[in-house]
């Protein structure tokens, strides 16, 4: 059997929302939704929260989740996914705790469920590929941008064929939604490889499940969707 670790990064500070990871959304701290989704997965063997916050680490332990104290130098908004993953794997290596796959679950995707996690893991386990990233469909925003001067349209939009092309006829465009990243640890051995790479499988998620909380608008929208999904007013 392949061993799978879920790594949940949750730093203390947030640029736009104070104490975001512990801020309550639909009556639970934001991070709770990701902890629960990982716990309910039928594939995940162990769950670790990586954080520089004693409050977040303490909350995670109370929820029966393992923790990794993250140093300050990789805990700012400039810290990369690669640095967080490499630090966690180095910590686990020192404890002789090894895994075959790592699934990276950001707390800012509270609408991602255990069903999404298991579908994605099943997909990568069957294909034995190096990695997988969850995505959502979107329109190419550049096609619809207008140049404006003195509060008036500056470019001649009638000459842009995309303005008369039906949206369903436009080329499909995807963006990573931040919900799921899976890495085959046997195929990826260096820090530089822990990023979206050529050949990664994609897993398309619906737009609501893809909500990624970056600001208060996202937070309020996710709260509304969660309340509706769970039948709460």
Of 139, 137, 140, 141, the closest CA to residue 205 belongs to 137
Sign of the Cα torsion 52, 74, 3, 40 reads: positive
pTM of the model: 0.88
161 domain-assigned: no
Q: What is the pLDDT of residues 98-152, one digit of tens each?
A: 999 999 999 999 999 999 999 999 999 998 788 999 999 886 655 666 677 777 6
Average confidence (pLDDT) over 17-42: 96
The whole-number pLDDT of residue 78 equals 87
Q: The CATH number of the domain where 206 resides is what?
A: 3.90.550.10
Q: What is the pLDDT of residues 154-195, one digit of tens each?
A: 665 545 555 556 666 667 788 999 999 999 998 876 555 677
Q: For the residues of 73-142, what is the DSSP string, one character each?
A: GG-STT--HHHHHHHHHHHHHHTT---SEEEE--TT-TT--HHHHHHHHHHHHHHT-SEEEEEEEE--GG
Structure token digits, residue 183: 């890495």
The whole-number pLDDT of residue 140 equals 64
Gyration radius from the chain CA atoms: 20
Question: How many folded domains does the chain comprise?
Answer: 1
What residue numbers bound the domain in which 12 lies?
4-138+175-229
**Of 36-50, 70-84, 156-170, the least confident:** 156-170
């Amino acid at each position: 059997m392949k061993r799978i670790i879920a790594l949940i990064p949750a730093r203390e500070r947030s640029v736009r929302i104070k104490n975001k990871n512990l801020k309550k959304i639909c009556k639970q701290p934001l991070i709770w939704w990701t902890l629960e989704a990982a716990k309910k997965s039928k594939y995940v063997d162990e769950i670790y929260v990586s954080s520089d916050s004693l409050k977040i680490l303490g909350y995670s332990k109370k929820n029966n989740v393992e923790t990794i104290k993250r140093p300050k130098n990789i805990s700012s908004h400039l810290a990369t996914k690669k640095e967080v993953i490499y630090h966690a794997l180095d910590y686990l290596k020192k404890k002789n705790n090894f895994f075959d796959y790592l699934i990276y679950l950001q707390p800012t995707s509270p609408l991602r469920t255990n069903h999404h996690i298991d579908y994605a893991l099943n997909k990568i386990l069957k294909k034995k590929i190096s990695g997988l990233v969850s995505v959502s469909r979107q329109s190419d925003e550049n096609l619809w941008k207008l140049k404006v001067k003195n509060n008036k349209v500056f470019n001649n939009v009638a000459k842009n064929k995309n303005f008369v092309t039906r949206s369903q006829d436009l080329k499909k465009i995807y963006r990573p939604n931040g919900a799921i990243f899976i890495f085959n640890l046997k195929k990826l051995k260096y820090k530089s490889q822990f990023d979206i790479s050529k050949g990664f499988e994609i897993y398309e998620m619906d737009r609501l499940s893809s909500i990624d909380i970056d600001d208060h608008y996202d937070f309020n929208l996710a709260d509304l969707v969660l309340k509706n999904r769970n039948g709460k007013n």
